Amino acid sequence: MPCQSNNELKALVKEAKICTKDGKVADYIPELGKAKPDDLSIAIHYPDGRCLSAGDIEKKITLQSISKVISLALVLMDRGPDDVFKHVGMEPTGDPFNSIVKLETMAPTKPLNPLINAGALVVTQMIKGDSVNERFQRLLAFIQELTNDSTIHYREEVARSEFETAHLNRALCYFLKQHKMMAENTDVEQLMDLYTKQCAIEMNCLDLARIGLVFAMDGVDPLSGKQIIPTDVARICKTFMVTCGMYNASGEFAIKIGIPAKSGVSGGIMGAVPGKFGIGIFGPALDEKGNSIAGIKLLELLSKNYKLSMF
């Protein structure tokens, strides 16, 4: 069994923390710019309920792009893959997460995958419910079930801060509408409201590791024995985590680390080591592609030391 003690993890955190000085906290969402660049914490959640951790794991982080895998799982459960993949593709782009370029150069095309912003906006628009509030509450309830924590909520300041500045995401929506890849009657402001709340859902590393664990165990919460996500949906989500989960660094990440993972601009990373355990990381200093710089280093050390690559 890999990594048996908090002390082993602490040593890895100490080693990885050195590179936080080479990263930068995201500030295009002004509220995220308040994070402390040298923070680094990790939690590992095993199927038998044991948790290991290092760093300040009480600290809460907003999910940002990590939420895209979870909304994808919910929408796949709501509508089934055939319907969902009529509206969003399955291929990595090699472009930054917020890029519009493929939508234009390949127009008319559906967004290439559900983990870039264009694809995630289409997926969020597919969450079922009669109002923004009902749709958000369904997503939140799903996340509360995955974490077994009914207190999980979203951080209003972060949602508002992104809502006020999400010009690029609005542009993606209007571009998709123009090319009939998003329904003509889509209310972009309502979609922004839902999407920015989704991205602002906050939790600590332990909760994040617990969601990673459910994906690692093919959709089953090993602690309750309940199949929360159908096996097939968990498999699709994990595959996207490998091919697109770390933006346009996913190929290098697969080669060097080989763990299905999803990052967010707040500096979070959720990892799912198939059949073994879930990982939650928080390190807000980002590299030039928008991934937690020390978080990646930490995963690289973990993967090498404990031979975790799935390939």
Annotated binding site for substrate: 65, 117, 162, 169, 195, 247, 265
Given 41, 113, 117, 204, the residue binding ligand GLN (CB under 6 A):
117
Give Cβ neighbours of residue 125 (< 8 Å, ≥ 6 apart). 182, 183, 186, 191
- Among all residues, which ones are annotated catalytic? 65, 68, 195, 247, 265
3-state DSSP assignment of residue 219: coil
Give Cβ neighbours of residue 8 (< 8 Å, ≥ 6 apart). 52
Please report the beta strands in 14-157, taking only residues with DSSP state E, as ranges in sequence order: 24-25, 41-45, 51-54, 61-62, 153-154
- Nearest-approach distance from CB 97 to ligand GLN, in angstroms: 5
- Residues 266-295 as b/e (b if ≥16 CB within 10 A, e otherwise) read bbbbbbbbbebbbbbbbbbbbbebbbbbbb
If binding is defined by CB under 6 A, does position 291 make contact with ligand GLN? no
Rule CB under 6 A: which of 132-171 touch ligand GLN?
Answer: 162, 169
Nearer to ligand GLN, 194 or 228 (CB): 194
Q: Which two tokens stand for residue 118?
A: 């264009």
Nearer to ligand GLN, 65 or 204 (CB): 65
176 vs 187: CA distance, rounded Å: 12
Count of residues in contact with ligand GLN, rule CB under 6 A: 11
Nearer to ligand GLN, 41 or 117 (CB): 117
**Which residue type, as a one-letter code, is found at position 245?**
G
If binding is defined by CB under 6 A, does position 64 make contact with ligand GLN? yes
Given 173, 205, 265, 308, the residue binding ligand GLN (CB under 6 A):
265
- Nearest-approach distance from CB 65 to ligand GLN, in angstroms: 3
If binding is defined by CB under 6 A, does position 20 make contact with ligand GLN? no
If binding is defined by CB under 6 A, does position 65 make contact with ligand GLN? yes
CB 175 within 8 A of CB 186: no
**Contact residues for ligand GLN (CB under 6 A)?**
64-65, 97-98, 117, 162, 169, 199, 264-265, 290
